[in-house]
Amino acid sequence: MNRLEEIKLENLQDSWVIMYTFIAQELFDRGGFQGEIALREAVRRYGRDRGLTNRQRLIDNNIKINLETLFHEGRDRPGEPRFLSKVIRSTREERISDTLICSFADVWKKYNAKHLGRIYCEEFHIECYKAFGFGQTKVNLSRSMTQDGDDRCFFYHTYRPENLTDEQRRLSFEEYDPGYVKPSTPMPKPEGKSGFNMLWIKMYFYLLEAAVEQLGETGRMLVANGLRHGAVEQAKVFLEQARATEREVDQIYLVDHLPLNLDIDGEPLWETYDKHGAKQLLRDCFYKVLFQEVGYEGI
Amino acid sequence: MKGYKLLCDNQAQDRWADYYLTTAKGLGERFGMLGRAAVRDAIRMFAQLQGQHRRDFLVEHGYKPHLANLFGLGGPLPCGDRCIKEWIRVSPQEVFVNVAQCPYALRWNAAGEPEVGKMFCEEYYPAYVHQAASEKAQINTGRELVNEGDTYCRLSVYLRPANLPEKQRGELFDEFDPSMGLPQKEACPPQPVDYNQWILELHTCFVTCAQQRLGQEGLEWTETLSRPFLAENNMNNLSMGR
């Protein structure tokens, strides 16, 4: 992978964090306490969705549910070159790792939004990994880069057969499933573009859903504002990046660097996530603004 | 809270740690996974009991059971001079603390049984804080002295009003309680810990959970494991009253 390929992945990753940051900022700064409630709830729903989707994906592929598979076959977030972690222990029952470079945290620092990242870190991991592990994964994130004074994240998760039901144990550990045969072909790894697209749409959808539930039309308006601000910032990032690599922000550039499908109507995820007018709001407040800012006339 | 330690009967504390270790290990060795499941059940039950005692104590003295009060003297961490802590942040919503030396871990590691000790740490702190404060609290234990290679325990605990039902917000935080007058200026009084009583209470939890998970054989084996400790403490005939 050359540097230009790395830049694509970095932009694909940063895009959904930028969107989260600008919507979260609106909810937190202008939505008051109800806005914070909505924000935390949205992150939890997003985590739960990813955890449950992953769990089902593994079960459908005859792969056991435990901490080893969670961080291998169960990893749904595509890799990207900046992220750096030190894995101290990785077994089916225990996972200990320190994250030393986190591109999420770097985006939040850039926008002076560590407190919004803090909320993400507090809510996401617990909910996602718990959902994956039948509610029995113990998730410990005792230090994190979104916490003032911390220079790394400490992750320590446990998943114990003793805390599971008989059926959950069977689905989780080979020794409780006599006759189990592992699949002989590896599961496909998440693709950069489609993987980040999935993260983007799910995160956006749950932010909108929770905001509307907590704040009604005000919540919808705040999300719309966040999308517009996020689109302006996304355009700025693309224009700067394109200039630095001696390119134009044209259709090819957008296809490569924006996680979202340029043809919003062609996105299959809307079959599940187009509620509360999510697709139309995204078209009006993100796509149009982004395309206008970068000078792209659309397809 | 900082710079002040709750007095502790170190001998009783060690006896309690030994009692836990002997019974938990014995159940695991005899009954395997189901024995360990009974142990984890018992730890959670014991933690809920202690968490409820803590909550009741704070409420009776007119203090909200939020994190700053919860982790005051008599809170979930071991008491005494042998528990060496570094408090990093203490507020109603957040407690971050490193434990550089833990009297329980000293005992369990010296016996060569850190894994049995680890079961206690994994189950005790979440169940305790959920009972004492709220099931919405987030308890993160990121380093543990019973974990090979770790040089301290790290607890980072969060209790966010935004995650609580409205009723709990008022119960836990002054600013959400319309009946609350001026905030208290005095620190909450220390809540003594009686490790002899802890042996009795943990014994009750072990017996209950062993019987539920393992039946009569589990119950009898738990009684066998417990007998020397109960006899040594001359507590066989003591009631469970607190």
Task: Mark yes or no for CB contact A162/B143 under 8 Å.
Answer: no
Spell out which residues of chain B touch residue A85, defining contact as CB-CB under 8 Å.
none
Query: What are phi and psi for residue A289, nearest 5 degrees?
Result: -70, -45
Q: Shortest CA distance to B17 belongs to which of B193, B218, B240, B237?
A: B193
What pLDDT is recorded for position B181? 65
Answer yes or no: is A230 within a domain: yes
Q: What is the pLDDT of residue A204?
A: 98
Q: Would you say residue A40 lies in a domain?
A: no
Confidence (pLDDT) at B239: 45
> Judging by DSSP bridges, how do beta strands B84-90 and B153-158 pair with one another?
unpaired
- Across the interface, of A122, A155, A162, the residue whose CB is closest to B138 is A122
A154 and A223 in a common domain: no
Over range B42-68, report the average pLDDT: 96
Contact A155 B147 (CB under 8 A): no
Same domain, A154 and A221: no
Average pLDDT over residues B82-109: 95
Nearest by CB: A142 against B149, B154, B161 = B154
**Mean pLDDT across chain A, nearest whole number?**
95
- CATH number, domain of B117, equals 3.90.1520
3-state helix/strand/coil string of B171-186: HHCHHHCCCCCCCCCC
Asked, for residue B185, whether it belongs to a domain, the answer is no
Say how far apart CA A123 and CA A130 lie, in whole Å: 11
Please tell me which residue of chain A has the smallest CA distance to B140: A140
- Position B96 in a domain: yes
Nearest residue in chain A measured CA to CA from B36 = A162
Is position B81 within any domain?
A: yes
Contact B37 A140 (CB under 8 A): no
My answer on whether A153 and A53 are in the same domain is yes
In a domain, A26, yes or no: yes
Q: How many angstroms separate the CA atoms of B44 and B124, rounded?
A: 6
Determine the structural domain holding residue A242 and report its residue range.
3-33+192-294
Smallest CA–CA distance, residue B114 to chain A, in Å, is 14
Claim to verify: residue A156 and residue A81 sit in the same structural domain: yes
CB-based contact A141 B156, cutoff 8 Å: yes
Q: Tell which wins on pLDDT, B65 or A187.
A: B65
In this prediction the ipTM stands at 0.88
- Pick from A176, A208, A240: which residue ends a domain? A176
Burial A132-143 (b: 16+ CB within 10 A, else e): bbbebbbbbbbb
Q: Which range is least confidently modeled, B28-32, B147-151, B194-198? A: B147-151
Question: What confidence score (pLDDT) does residue B1 get?
Answer: 46
pLDDT of the residue at A79: 83
Sign of the alpha-carbon dihedral angle for A57, A81, A151, B109 = positive
No. of helices (H) and no. of strands (E), chain B: 6, 4
Q: Do B141 and A162 touch (CB under 8 A)?
A: no
Chosen domain end from A116, A145, A176: A176
A163 and A211 both lie in a single domain: no
Averaged over B147-173, what is the pLDDT?
A: 94
Nearest CA distance, A115 vs chain B (angstrom)? 13
Please check whether residue A50 is in contact with residue A75, taking contact to mean a CB–CB distance below 8 angstroms.
no
The answer to whether B110 and B82 have CB atoms below 8 angstroms apart is: no
For B112, the domain range is 10-178+192-232
Among all residues of chain B, which has the CA nearest to that of A127?
B138
Output the pLDDT for position B241. Answer: 42
Residue B83 in any domain: the answer is: yes
Partner A contacted by B126 (CB < 8 A)? yes
Residue B162 near chain A (CB below 8 Å): yes
Of A20, A219, A204, A213, the residue nearest A111 (C-alpha): A20
pLDDT value for A80:
86
Note the pLDDT tens digit of each residue in A179-218. 999 998 888 887 888 999 999 999 999 999 999 999 999 9
- Residue B149 gets the label, from left (phi > 0), alpha (psi -120 to 50) or beta, of left
Confidence grade of residue A18 (pLDDT, cut at 50, 70, 90): very high
Q: Is the pLDDT of residue B234 over 70?
A: no
Residue A36: list chain B partners with CB under 8 A.
162
Residue in A139, A154, A163 closest to B154 by CB: A154
Confidence of residue B69 (pLDDT cuts 50, 70, 90): very high
Residue B155: inside a domain: yes
Q: How many CB atoms lie within 10 A of CB A263?
A: 9
Here the tokens at position A123 are 């809510």
CA of A178 vs chain B CAs: smallest distance (Å): 16
Q: Do B162 and A40 touch (CB under 8 A)?
A: yes
Name the residue in chain B with its Cα closest to that of A154: B142
User: Angle at Cα A94 formed by Cα A92 and Cα A95, nearest 5°?
Assistant: 105
Are A160 and A85 in the same domain?
yes
The pLDDT value recorded for residue B240 is 44
Indicate if A126 and A228 belong to the same structural domain: no
Structure tokens that stand for B192 in this block: 């003594």
| Residue pLDDT, tens place only, A143-164 | 999 988 889 999 999 999 999 9
Sort out which chain B residues have CB atoms less than 8 A from A122's CB and list them.
138, 158, 160
Helix ranges (DSSP H) in chain A = 3-30, 32-60, 67-70, 103-110, 114-132, 166-172, 192-215, 217-244, 251-257, 270-273, 278-282, 288-294
Residue A252 lies in a domain: yes
* pLDDT for res A180: 96
Output the CA–CA distances (angstroms, integers) from residue B76 to A6, B6, B53, B69, B115, in the order listed: 47, 12, 11, 11, 20
**Residue of chain B whose alpha carbon sits nearest to that of A43:** B163
Q: Does B158 touch chain A (CB under 8 A)?
A: yes
In a domain, A184, yes or no: no
pLDDT at B182: 60
**Which residues have CB under 8 Å from B164's CB, separation 6+?**
B134, B136, B172
- Considering the domain boundaries, does residue B153 fall inside one? yes
* Of the residues A118, A151, A176, the one at which a domain ends: A176
Q: Do A172 and A54 fall within a single domain?
A: yes
Is residue B133 in a domain? Answer: yes
Q: What are phi and psi of B42, to 5 degrees?
A: -65, -40
Residue of B154, B162, B203 lying closest to B49 (CA atoms):
B203
Of chain B residues 168-187, which have a CB less than 8 A from chain A?
none
Tell me how many domains chain B contains.
1
The verdict on residue A187 lying in a domain is: no
Q: Structure pTM?
A: 0.92
Answer yes or no: is B239 within a domain: no
Of B33, B39, B144, the CB nearest to A161: B33
pLDDT at B3 over 70: no
* Among A147, A158, A162, beta carbon nearest to B36: A162
A29 plus A49 within the same structural domain:
no
- Does residue A186 belong to any structural domain of this protein? no
Residue B187 has a pLDDT of 76
Residue A254, pLDDT > 80, answer: yes
**Of A137, A142, A214, which to mutate for an interface test with B (greatest number of B Cβ within 10 Å)?**
A142
Encoding tokens for residue B58? 């704070």
State mean pLDDT over A74-97.
Answer: 92
Q: What's the whole-number average pLDDT of chain B?
A: 91
Could you give the dihedral angle defined by the CA atoms of residues B63, B65, B68 and B74, in that order, rounded to the nearest 10 degrees?
A: 90
Count CA atoms within 13 Å of residue B173 on its CB side: 18
State how far the Cα of B16 lies from the Cα of B138, in Å rounded to an integer: 27
Do A170 and A50 belong together in one domain?
A: yes
Q: Sheet with B84-90: list strands edge to edge.
A: B84-90, B94-101, B153-158, B138-143
A77 and A171 belong to one structural domain: yes
Q: Is residue A81 part of a domain?
A: yes
Single-letter code of the amino acid located at B179: S
Q: Are residues A67 and A160 in the same domain?
A: yes
- In angstroms, the Cα distances linking B205 to B208, B210, B219, B222, B232 are 5, 8, 11, 10, 19
Per the structure, the count of domains in chain A is 2
